[in-house]
Amino acid sequence: MIDLVHELLEEQRERLYLFLRHLREDGQPFLTHSEVQRVWRDYEASRPSDGGPEAGLPLLVRHTQEAVFHDTQVVLAVRERVARWRYLQIHAEEMRARELDVSEFLGIKERVASGTVERGERYALELDLEPFERGFPKMHRAASIGRGVEFLNRHLSSRLFGGGGRGLQRLVDFLREHRVQGRPLLLNGTVETVPELKEVLREGARVLARRDPEGEAWCRELRQLGFEPGWGRTAARARETMDILSDLLEAPSASTLEDFLARVPMIFSIAILSPHGFLAQADVLGKPDTGGQVVYILDQVRALEAAMRSSIHEAGLDVEPRIVVLTRRIPEAQGTTCDQRIEPILGTENAIILRVPFRTRDGVEVRDWISRFEIWPWLERFAVDAERELLAELGGRPDFVIGNYSDGNLVASIMAHRLGITQCTIAHALEKTKYQDSDLRWRELEEEYHFSCQYTADLIAMNTADFIITSTYQEIAGTESTVGQYESYRAFTMPGLYRVVAGVDCFDPKFNIVSPGADPRVFFPYTQEERRMDEVRDEIRALVFGGPDDNSRGRLEDPGKPLLFAMSRLDRIKNMAGFLEAYGASDELRGHANLLLVGGHLNPALSNDREERTQIERTHALLDRYQLDGQVRWLELQTDKNRVGEFYRVVADTRGAFVQPALFEAFGLTVVEALSVGLPTFATCHGGPLEIIENGVSGYHIDPEDGREMVRPVTRFFQQTEDDPDLWQRISQGAMGRVRERYNWSLYAATLLKLSRIYGFWRYITSLEREETRRYLEMFYGLMYRPLARTAEGS
């Protein structure tokens, strides 16, 4: 990029000069990517075409993610390619350019943000994880991001097996030490070396060949040879497993190792952490800080338990899988079950929610709900208490721990370290990309949001995690033009606190995309008439086509029109009111379809969330302003999952569509739910839905930034379906095909278990790989996180 700038300085000096002047005239010290693009468009529109070469400057502009104005200098943060950044400083008068390193760039941002021209803090605290990671394998291609397990397994296999027999000996040690609930599995202590293992495998295969292939594998002869249970339930399967291991010992390779590990019974119990919000199975959606994450975790647990049970059974073991979801107990439970210690999870045989109190330093239980932004002072003690209760519940330590959201991930990180187990991290939604410049403006936001604690916790957990699963690629590394959520942790500054020069690396093989689905018992296709309950369908139809009462507003005057359905929490970012306004302003769309809104309360006094109250009032005002009561039906939020499933199907019966108009959506479970029932879906192009939906095949993208533009594709769709009735069917089929192929829970569970086996194995084999990183982060925890959390307690 610096070469490009030098070229521009030589060949298009005047054009560059004029454009930089335009940028500076905008008058703001910082410009975001979209602001730079806006200024560029204005600039291009304002100048007569000079017929000069076009390529260089537009390229630079397109890749500029941030512009900072410092004195006479313009500093550009240029994202050359996905997750690859350069920083360029251009003297806007003398027209000289030089490249900055990340630390210089962040230093300038700090100075500009604090309004001081003199040198900022020369010795700002810098967090730099790169030196610790030098020996660790990293990927190079953007296309590999999110497929870390394949890379890691290939890389470590070649290292392990490249070192002659020593690597294979470590594999034998792993098998010898492998156990469940204290009982040895696979091999007992008599087999010690690789040649011995090869020999007993040959003998074992011979023993099994003499048995009924479908009969039970386990027998006295196998034990005498040195085997323990776990090779397979039937003789045929156990023999296959032994053959795979023999192949691995003869000709070691990453793929044979993967095949073998897929057979090794390794995961019997899992702890899942999600401390904040109301985590229960009923009556919680709509409570503060309670949304898709709860739905995700409960569906995840059901899918994981089924997958674990089946793989344990296949391995021939009689062990009951255990999953414990750890959350916070809330004595003032607001009509939910969140005050109960244990809640069995429906649809599972053994999984439970285990609620552990938040306690003050004196040991007194905290009674009320605490916002996710205020949760930091409570977590360290919670981690220790939760661990104790977990160990008592399971009778031992779990095989791995999954953290959810920033708070759960921090607790998972503490617990995984104390117990010496594998840590998996799931973000759900990282606040950093939701609130613009929240790092730079941390001080002014501190009282309300405590982002200093949250981002510090994120950095710690992301870096201690053995593996991170994300729902989409863009969550890690964004798109050509947008920055990924994890990528935003690569380099940033919180002026006066610390500067991150190498925080999170998207090329780290710990990242894996494992996408969730929708509960297939509830979100099944609208065409599966035999599964639909008439009673529920009638109830939903009565609600949708009924008239106003305390919990609803509007009556659809022309019930024959297709329904356009939008359902979400009424947060500002979900932009339900934005869509309502665009619908109200579009006579054309109003002519084609009625609008069904589901979310929030009708009475703002019933909401204890400030943001939601504002959105409720705005929704009422828009319904009045555009006189929409005959075309829009607004129902309060729905908490009964079975009914929610039927809502989508009733909308599909009218040949309607689902709309998800969020300004930004981290993933978007409603989108997957709508696709699962076969409902054509229009969803935001900002965030996960951009990836979930293939535009024009399994739904459509909409851009919520401009209301008129947002409703245009929706109107066009309804117009086209009038001329081409098959269009609706094609998109509906495309939607269902998409979830079958990519977004379903059985695929999720199988992949997650595979990841936990492979990462768990490599963790055992290369246990010292990241020791230095962990020690560095422990210091960061003690010196940075802990005091910040204490300060948050006092505020």
Residues near ligand UDP, by CB under 6 A: 285, 291-293, 295, 567-569, 598-599, 637-638, 644, 667-670, 673
Q: Which stretch binds ligand LCN (CB under 6 A): 289-297, 362-370, 489-497, 637-645?
A: 289-297
Footprint (CB under 6 A) of ligand LCN, residues 204-243:
none
Nearer to ligand UDP, 498 or 667 (CB): 667
Q: How far is the CB of 238 from ligand UDP (least distance, A)?
A: 41
* DSSP string covering 67-110: EEEETTEEEEEEEEETTEEEEEEEETTT--EEEE-HHHHHHHHH
- Which does residue 598 bind out of ligand LCN, ligand UDP, none, counting CB within 5 to 8 angstroms by kind? ligand UDP
Q: How far is the CB of 702 from ligand UDP (least distance, A)?
A: 16
- Which does residue 644 bind out of ligand UDP, ligand LCN, none, counting CB within 5 to 8 angstroms by kind? ligand UDP
Nearer to ligand LCN, 258 or 475 (CB): 475
Q: How far is the CB of 5 from ligand UDP (least distance, A)?
A: 41
**Is the CA virtual torsion 28, 32, 35, 37 positive or negative?**
positive
Given the DSSP bridges, would you call strands 657-660 and 563-567 parallel, antiparallel or unpaired? parallel
Q: What angle do CA 185, 187, 193 make, to 5 degrees?
A: 150
Given the DSSP bridges, would you call strands 552-553 and 632-635 parallel, antiparallel or unpaired? antiparallel
Residue 91: beta bridge partners?
73
Nearer to ligand LCN, 256 or 471 (CB): 471
Residue 658: beta bridge partners?
565, 681
Q: How far is the CB of 516 from ligand UDP (least distance, A)?
A: 9
Binding residue for ligand LCN, selected from 157, 293, 638, 684, defined by CB under 6 A: 293
Q: How far is the CB of 377 from ligand UDP (least distance, A)?
A: 25
Q: Which stretch binds ligand LCN (CB under 6 A): 235-243, 292-300, 629-637, 707-715?
A: 292-300
- Which does residue 599 bind out of ligand LCN, ligand UDP, none, counting CB within 5 to 8 angstroms by kind? ligand UDP
Nearer to ligand UDP, 419 or 567 (CB): 567
Q: Which stretch binds ligand LCN (CB under 6 A): 34-42, 73-81, 290-298, 305-313?
A: 290-298
Q: Find all residues with CB under 8 Å of 557, minimum gap 6, and list them.
A: 630, 631
Nearer to ligand UDP, 545 or 664 (CB): 664
The owner of tokens 């609130």 is 435
Nearer to ligand LCN, 229 or 517 (CB): 517
Which residue is closest to ligand LCN by CB?
A: 292
Residue 454 and residue 448: Cα distance in Å, rounded?
A: 12
Q: Please check whether residue 205 is in contact with residue 236, taking contact to mean a CB–CB distance below 8 angstroms.
A: no
Within 10 angstroms of residue 729's Cβ, the number of other Cβ atoms is 14
Binding residue for ligand LCN, selected from 287, 372, 397, 428, defined by CB under 6 A: 428
Residue type, 403: G
Q: How far is the CB of 688 from ligand UDP (least distance, A)?
A: 8
Nearer to ligand LCN, 238 or 279 (CB): 279
- Which does residue 568 bind out of ligand UDP, ligand LCN, none, counting CB within 5 to 8 angstroms by kind? ligand UDP
Residue 224 and residue 743: Cα distance in Å, rounded?
A: 46
Q: Which two structure tokens, joined as six digits, stand for 195?
A: 């040649």
Q: How far is the CB of 668 from ligand UDP (least distance, A)?
A: 5
Q: Is 429 in the site for ligand LCN (CB under 6 A)?
A: yes
Nearer to ligand UDP, 614 or 719 (CB): 614
Nearer to ligand LCN, 667 or 761 (CB): 667
> What track of x and - describes contact with ligand LCN for positions 630 through 669 (by CB under 6 A)?
-----------------------------------xxxxx
Nearer to ligand LCN, 377 or 688 (CB): 688
Q: How far is the CB of 738 from ligand LCN (least distance, A)?
A: 16
Nearer to ligand UDP, 584 or 668 (CB): 668
Q: How far is the CB of 425 from ligand LCN (least distance, A)?
A: 13
Name which of 787, 83, 66 is nearest 502 in CA terms.
Answer: 83
Alpha carbon 519 to its chain's center:
18
Name which of 269, 272, 344 is nearest 308 in CA terms.
Answer: 269
Within 10 angstroms of residue 725's Cβ, the number of other Cβ atoms is 10
The owner of tokens 């005050």 is 339
Radius of gyration over every alpha carbon of the chain, rounded to an integer in angstroms: 29
Q: What angle do CA 514, 240, 165 make, to 5 degrees?
A: 85
189: alpha, beta or left? (left if phi > 0; alpha if psi -120 to 50): alpha
Q: How far is the CB of 656 from ligand UDP (least distance, A)?
A: 17
> How long is the chain?
795
Residue 192 and residue 187: Cα distance in Å, rounded?
A: 9
Which burial class, exposed, middle or buried, applies to 198 when counting CB atoms under 10 A from its CB (0-12, 13-18, 19+)?
Answer: middle
Q: How far is the CB of 490 from ligand LCN (least distance, A)?
A: 21
Residue 540 and residue 647: Cα distance in Å, rounded?
A: 6
Name the site residues for ligand LCN (rule: CB under 6 A): 292-293, 296, 428-429, 471, 665-669
